[in-house]
Amino acid sequence: MEMKKAVIIGSGLGGLECGVILSKEGYDVTVLEKEIQAGGCLQGFRRGGFRFDTGFHYVGGIEEGGPLHPLFRYFDLLDLPWVKLDEDCFDEVVIGGERFPFAMGYDRFIDALAARFPSERAGLEKLIAKFRNIGDHIFDAFKGEMNPAFAEGAWDFLCSCTDDPLLRKVLSGTSLKLQLDAETLPLYVFAQISNSFIRSSHRLTGGGPAIVDRLASQIDGEVRTGAGVSRIIEKDGAVVAVGLESGERIEADVFISDIHPTALFGLLGEDSGVRKIYRRRISSLENSCGMFTANILLKEGALPYLGRNIFVHTADEDPWGPVPERTGSVMIHFYPERWPDGSAKAVDLLSPMRMSDDWDETRVGHRGEKYLALKESKAAECLDLAETGLPGLKDAVEGIWTSTPLTWRDYTATESGSAYGIMKDWRNPLGSVISPRTPVQNLFLTGQNLNLHGILGTSMTSFLTAGAVLGRMPSTLL
C-alpha cells in the first residue's frame, strides 16, 4: 500500500512536531523551509563564537505530572540536557528596586509571596487553586472541549484575588512570557502559562537547535531548507501541490501550514476555496507585540551564573497597559552554558516593542542609519534598566548584538514580528481561537497563532492539527 504524503510549509516547532506525528502514523513527510536553517523561532545563530537562541529561553512543566511532560515524552525530548532552575526562586520580579521571588511548586510559591504579603495568603491560595484546576484540564482540548476559562477575563480574576496594587504587579511581573491586556486576555492563557512554569522550570543546554535536531531526526521523509513556497495549487476544492520559488512542484495528499495565516493567504490564488470572508476574519485579528532582544556575551569571571530569570520593571510600569515607547520592562535570561570557572557566559535582555509602519517596506541589512540608531538607543535603555536588577552587568559586557520585531518578521515570517502570535479575546473566544481546519478539505493550520502560544501551546496545537488530519487523536500520546 502506497504511503500517504504530507507537505508541511514552515519548519517551526509546530511544523516539525506535526511532521513527527504524521511520520509515526505512516505518512511520508516533506517539510519545506524558505530559510537556510530549520526551526523558525527555535533556530540559533553564532556571534562572538557563542551560539545564541532566536526565541527559545526556558520551558515550564516538563517534569512528571507537568503538562509538557507527556508531549515531550511523545517527541522523545525528555532526555535532552535540561537544566533545572532554582526551586526557591526560578523567576525574580524586581519592581522599582524591590525584589520578589517566584518559587517552584504550588505551596512553595504561595509561601514565598505570602511572606511578603501576609494579609494576602487567601487571595494567593485562590489564584493557585484556579491555575492548578485549569492546568489539570489542559488535555480536555483533545476531546474538542473549550475550557470555560477562555471566556473569563484574566485581569478581572486577578482583581478578585487581591486588591493590593503591588501584589497585582508582582503576579503580573513575569509577563514577558505573554502579552497582558486588561480588556482582552483570557484567564485560560494567563493561567496555563503561569501554571506550567510554577510546576517546574528548565533551561536547555544547546537551546532551541537541540530540539530542532531531535525532531527532524524523527521525520520519515525530509526537511528541506532553502525551499520557499511561492504558490499553493488547488483543483476541485482540494490542494494538489505546492510550487516552489525554484519552479519545482511537489504533490501530496495533505498540506499543513506552519506559517502565519496571513502569509498563507498570500500563497493562495484568488479563486481559492479559502474565500475572502474567511481571510478577512483571520486577517482582522490583532497580533501580539514583538520583542527587542539584546544578546550579550559576558567577560569570563565577570558575573556569577544565576539559576533564575530576572524580570525588571520601573516603579510606574503598567504591565497590563499598552506597550510603551520607552523601556519599562526587561527580562534577563541566563544561558546554561558557562565559562570554565563557572561564571555566566551569556545573557539575553528582552523587552516588548512595537515598530512603526515607517519600516514596513524595509528588509534586513537595508534599513539605514536611523534604524541602527534606534537599536543602539533601545539597547542602552535595556542595559540601564537591567543594571538595576543585576548590578555589574554593564561592566561585564564583552559583546552585544541586537534584534527588533522586524528581524523576527524577516527571518521567521511572523506577522509584524509578533512574539506571541494572534491575540486571544475572552469576550469572543470562538472568534479569536482558530481551528486547524480551513475551508479547503486537505489544507490545515498549525502553530502558536491557533490556540495557545509558546512551547506548550504550540506542542498542544500540533496534536490538534494532526488529529484533524487523521480524524482522531494519536492513540499513543497520553
pLDDT of residue 325: 81
pLDDT of residue 146: 86
Grid cell at residue 241:
501541490
pLDDT of residue 478: 57
Model pTM score: 0.95
pLDDT of residue 419: 85
According to DSSP, the residues that pair with 242 across neighbouring strands are 232, 250
Q: Which domains does the chain have, with CATH numbers?
A: 5-61+72-76+206-285+434-470 (3.50.50.60), 85-202+287-417 (3.90.660)
User: Mean pLDDT, consecutive 10-residue segments, the chain of 478 residues?
Assistant: 89 97 96 93 92 93 95 97 98 96 98 97 98 94 89 97 97 90 95 96 96 97 96 94 96 96 91 89 89 96 98 93 88 97 97 81 81 92 97 97 89 80 90 92 94 90 95 76
pLDDT of residue 477: 63
pLDDT of residue 1: 56
Q: Which of 239, 242, 273, 278 is nearest to 262 (CA)?
A: 278
pLDDT of residue 473: 86
CA dihedral 409, 415, 155, 96 (to 10 degrees): 20
pLDDT of residue 4: 95
Helix (H, G, I), strand (E, B) or coil at 203: strand
Are 76 and 293 spatial neighbours (Cβ–Cβ below 8 Å)?
no
Q: Which of 452, 432, 462 is nearest to 134 (CA)?
A: 452
pLDDT of residue 25: 94
